Amino acid sequence: MVLIQRSGYVDLVQGGVIDVAISPQQATISALLTHVRRADIVNVSSLRRGAAEAIEAIAHGDESTSKVVGRAVGDIKLPPGTTIGAIVRGEEVLIAHDRTVIEQDDHVVMFLVDKKYVPDVETLFQPSPFFL
């Protein structure tokens, strides 16, 4: 493990003799992004020097109050360049497929190649105002 001060070096050193490279700047940005995102976004990682993001969101509501709960991954209209990679359901990690149905309280891990679509993803995970 090595601490890297210049974030541009992270990609260069990781994978050789060094197994993990940590950039304080990237860790701080990811922690801040978690707090400024809407919906129930519990984890954010800035990727590709801030151009892309990995987001973990919790699905709330039911089929009538949520745009994702009770729907198969393939039926959800995701923004361009957005992929649902995994779903954490309790202690189980599911690799997301088109037929995988998202349930209430699932943690959904998504990758966005363009962070300009983050607001669209946040909107997907906000239940309607009638959800209590």
pLDDT band at 36 (very low <50, low <70, confident <90, very high): very low
pLDDT at residue 49 in the model = 67
Cβ contact 112:118 at 8 Å:
yes
Cβ atoms of 59 and 66 within 8 Å: the answer is yes
Rounded to 5 degrees, φ, ψ at 81 are: 75, 10
Confidence of residue 37 (pLDDT cuts 50, 70, 90): very low
Structural domains of the chain ordered from first start = 1-36 (no CATH), 39-132 (3.30.70.1450)
d(CA 90, CA 68): 17
- Round to whole Å and give the CA distance between 104 and 67: 11
H helix runs in the chain, sequence order? 10-13, 24-36, 118-124
- β-pair type (2-3, 21-22): parallel
Which is nearest to 122 in space by CA: 130, 113, 131, 112? 112
Confidence of residue 3 (pLDDT cuts 50, 70, 90): very low
- Tens of pLDDT, residue by residue over 64-109, are 889 999 999 999 999 999 999 999 999 999 999 999 999 999 999 9
